[in-house]
Structure 1
Amino acid sequence: MKRILLGVCAAAMLAGCANSGTGAVPPRTVDKVDLERYQGTWYEQARLPMFFQRNCKQSEAHYALQADGSISVVNKCRDAEGKWQEAVGQAVPQVEGKTDKLWVSFDNWFSDLLPGVAKGDYWVLYLDDDYQHALVGSPNHKYLWVLSRSTELNPEQRAKLLEVAHDRGYDTENLIWRTPDAEMPKQ
């Protein structure tokens, strides 16, 4: 558990400095996210390689809209042995009234120590009309998550999400795909 929290801290710090000196043109985001419709469970289908998820074979995120407009975040990661780890945090809009770009911070010692620094970019790059598929990334193109409401994507959905990610400037060749349930150990 300590390793995942340390990794989340490091990633949040790096993502908070996402555009510092990269020269990359930030990707286009969706116009607006209906946070009520967005809340719930999202299954990670794929992601770009990153330190804090290096041992994750399956990941999921649980979002819940709070009365103050923030979103509670519970990220879960299942490793090759089938054990789950989780990180708890909160997301808030980067600009009041706009919901396409959020700051995410996690409850840990690093966030307590440096609350203004220990936050990561969460930009919603694509969201289908039914809120069943989404792309989320960072403005420097280093982080990308392919998300869906179900644990599997059909070939057409996968192709569409890869096309959009590529169009937004992300390297889709290095994506790490979710390990199918059938390949995971039984618990």
Structure 2
Amino acid sequence: MPKISAERRTERREQILAGARRCFAEHGYEGATVVRLEKATGLSRGAIFNYFPSKEALFVELAVRDSARMSDIWVSEGLEAVVREVMELDPAWLSVYLELFRRVRNDDDFRLRIAVRQKEAAPANRARIEEAQRTGEFRDDLEPKQVGLFVNLVLNGLALQRASGEELPPVELVLALLGDAIGGRARPGTPSRTTA
């Protein structure tokens, strides 16, 4: 059997991921059977599982890639860009992505696999927050971790609203409220930031 070039392997891998994303979005994680994955990718199960050892591995790869893409947007373009991106994501895919949160909560092995893959983005995200605090874009009386947790809370809330089909507030309002919460310098009456 002839060897496949690295370029062709990458193309095939991307084909599988694109088809799997459509399949998960249309049928949900549980409903994305091997037969449906074959149909969505246009490939046999042997071809699919030659690149990914399991359906879960496909799902994890898509989730980690989405997380990395959001992190890249956050780091390179800032908070406004990532808020706009979340508010425009495909609700069908977001519904499946919410399955990730359930699995992380209930499956220790799955949680570990996700944590290992997502750990790579943490330093860049923290550096982006620290830079924003130094320049006055974000308030500097909170720990970077606190700011990150709050931003994640807002982004996850927007994703949940979008996935459930509920109306989202105007993006300008979301950005204004985020600015009120974390924008600018220290606030009077805020407990002092501990330095580590």
**Same fold, TM exceeding 0.5?**
no
Structure with larger RCO (C-alpha < 8 A, sep 6+): 1
TM-score w.r.t. length of structure 1: 0.29
Q: Greater share of strand residues, 1 or 2?
A: 1
Q: Greater share of helix residues, 1 or 2?
A: 2
TM-score w.r.t. length of structure 2: 0.28
